[in-house]
């Protein structure tokens, strides 16, 4: 079958043919119907420092966001059958470590990631453990179905725990308008946030536009407004600041702003990754402010999937998510998708299984 394989420890990857994989008793074989490019795939494609350190197994089929049809199931599989349309939870877990035994499977101590540690979805067929196959509505647009996994990240950033201060009537800021930031805006708008502020680097006009469409009440250009952002947001919230700040950019200035605009006792989700250690005024940002901070890694398994399913049952939400998908291209043209992302013209890029 065709697959996009990282064959060498250097930039890019090759479209090539490999053996169609075999399944064991508790696995399922899925035919890819649509895949999507994640930021992680871009790092692996670019072969940046993170990718060089993280990727152990080469050659490897890359990609992890997708939807497909189950074509075969192992003999001990009970919950999925041939013909089911599924998406993949990409975290493959051991099920028995301390974290798995205490409702934190998504940060399993022996976590493997599809398309990073095991052969991924940029291929005609992919093997999933039964547990990782998430049944999706057959009538859902495959482009949307294929990005349920990052949608789960957006939900996790908004609602990091099951029992948490709800969003209803809260003022929220989303710092960073990458695809998952945009999704978070759409999630917040659907969950009854009062005012949603979005900030972005401002170089990617497409994303600033999409922030507005996704439900942001105010989109601020971090590059132009600078420190003024803090004043603008305070003035728009009776001087209280926001209840919730979601750092989704990885920019040091955004982290600082997240805490400056936060109302005392508010909460911050840290989703973005940083190029280097941050210098941080802990006293004023965290201690005196009695702030709560959540590090966001992955998605609760499988609470976030149910939440995504529920959100996708809302037609307005689906429309917003569809608008974030700016490019639908044949998978053979993946290099063009990477280029669209690099040149900041793209929201989310999905890949149709056209190999020739």
Residues 152-211 that bind a copy of itself (CB under 8 A): 155, 159-171, 187, 190-195
The one segment of 9-17, 56-64, 176-184, 276-284 that binds a copy of itself by CB under 8 A:
276-284
Cβ–Cβ < 8 Å for 272, 293: no
The one segment of 40-48, 58-66, 175-183, 268-276 that binds a copy of itself by CB under 8 A:
268-276
Residue with tokens 């994640």: 38
Query: Which helix (H) or strand (E) is 61 found in, with range?
Result: strand 60-61
> How many degrees, rounded to 5, is the angle at CA 135 between CA 351 and CA 44?
35
* String marking each residue 224-253 x if it binds a copy of itself according to CB under 8 A: --------------x-x-------------
Instruction: Examine residue 38 and tell whether it contacts a copy of itself (CB under 8 A).
Output: no
How far is 18 from 245, CA to CA, in rounded Å?
Answer: 45
Q: Which residues ranging from 313 to 342 are in contact with a copy of itself (CB under 8 A)?
A: 313-314, 317
Cβ–Cβ < 8 Å for 76, 116: no
The one segment of 2-10, 52-60, 274-282, 338-346 that binds a copy of itself by CB under 8 A:
274-282
Instruction: Examine residue 53 and tell whether it contacts a copy of itself (CB under 8 A).
Output: no
Q: To the nearest whole angstrom, how small is the minimum distance from the Cβ of residue 307 to a copy of itself? A: 4
Residue with tokens 């497909």: 68
Q: To the nearest whole angstrom, how small is the minimum distance from the Cβ of residue 77 to a copy of itself? A: 10
User: Choosing from 16, 20, 32, 40, which is the catalytic residue?
Assistant: 40
Q: Which residues ranging from 298 to 317 are in contact with a copy of itself (CB under 8 A)?
A: 298, 301-303, 305-311, 313-314, 317
User: Choosing from 43, 91, 106, 327, which is the catalytic residue?
Assistant: 43
43 is catalytic: yes
Candidates 265, 319, 336, 344; binder of a copy of itself (CB under 8 A) is: 265
Instruction: Find all residues with CB under 8 Å of 208, minimum gap 6, and list them.
Output: 177, 198, 200, 202, 219, 221
Instruction: Examine residue 109 and tell whether it contacts a copy of itself (CB under 8 A).
Output: yes
Candidates 30, 175, 255, 325; binder of a copy of itself (CB under 8 A) is: 255
Token pair for 51: 């990718």
Task: Give the binding-site size for a copy of itself (rule: CB under 8 A).
Answer: 83
DSSP three-state, residue 234: helix
State how far Cα 277 lies from the chain centre. 23
Does 299 sit behind a cis peptide bond, omega within 30 degrees of 0 on the bond before it? no
Question: CA dihedral defined by 191, 180, 136, 60, rounded to 10 degrees?
Answer: -160
State how far Cα 240 lies from the chain centre. 30
Q: Which residues ranging from 68 to 97 are in contact with a copy of itself (CB under 8 A)?
A: 78-79, 94-96
32 is catalytic: no
Candidates 31, 204, 221, 292; binder of a copy of itself (CB under 8 A) is: 292
Q: To the nearest whole angstrom, how small is the minimum distance from the Cβ of residue 51 to a copy of itself? A: 15
Question: CA dihedral defined by 139, 142, 146, 151, rounded to 10 degrees?
Answer: -60
Catalytic residue numbers read 40, 43
């Amino acid at each position: 079958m065709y697959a996009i394989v990282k064959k060498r420890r250097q930039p890019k990857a090759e479209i090539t043919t490999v053996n169609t994989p075999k399944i064991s008793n508790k696995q399922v074989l899925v035919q890819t119907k649509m895949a999507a490019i994640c930021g992680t795939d871009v790092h692996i494609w670019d072969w940046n420092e993170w990718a060089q350190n993280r990727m152990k197994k080469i050659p490897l089929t890359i990609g992890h966001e997708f939807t497909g049809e189950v074509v075969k199931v192992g003999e001990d599989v009970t919950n999925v059958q041939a013909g089911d349309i599924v998406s993949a939870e990409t975290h493959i877990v051991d099920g028995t470590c301390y974290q798995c035994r205490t409702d934190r499977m998504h940060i399993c101590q022996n976590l493997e990631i599809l398309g990073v540690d095991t052969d991924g979805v940029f291929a005609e067929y992919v093997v999933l453990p039964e547990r990782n196959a998430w049944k999706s509505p057959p009538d859902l647009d495959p482009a949307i179905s294929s990005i349920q996994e990052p949608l789960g990240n957006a939900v996790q950033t908004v609602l990091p725990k099951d029992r948490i201060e709800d969003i209803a009537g809260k003022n929220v800021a989303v710092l960073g308008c990458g695809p998952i930031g945009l999704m978070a805006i759409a999630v917040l708008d659907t969950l009854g946030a009062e005012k949603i502020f979005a900030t972005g680097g401002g170089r990617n006009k497409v994303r600033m536009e999409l922030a507005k469409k996704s439900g942001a009440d105010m989109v601020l250009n971090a590059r132009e407004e600078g420190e003024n952002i803090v004043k603008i947001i305070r003035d728009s919230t009776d001087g209280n600041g926001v209840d919730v700040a979601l750092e989704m950019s990885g920019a040091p200035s955004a982290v600082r702003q997240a805490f400056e605009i936060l109302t005392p006792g508010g909460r911050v989700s840290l989703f973005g990754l940083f190029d280097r250690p941050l210098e941080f005024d802990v006293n004023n940002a965290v201690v005196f402010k009695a702030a709560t901070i959540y590090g966001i890694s992955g998605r609760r398994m499988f609470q976030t999937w149910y939440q995504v399913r529920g959100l996708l049952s809302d037609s307005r939400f689906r429309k917003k998510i569809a608008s974030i998908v700016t490019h639908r291209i044949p998978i053979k043209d993946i290099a063009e998708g990477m280029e669209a992302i690099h040149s900041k013209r793209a929201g989310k890029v999905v890949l149709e299984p056209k190999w020739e």
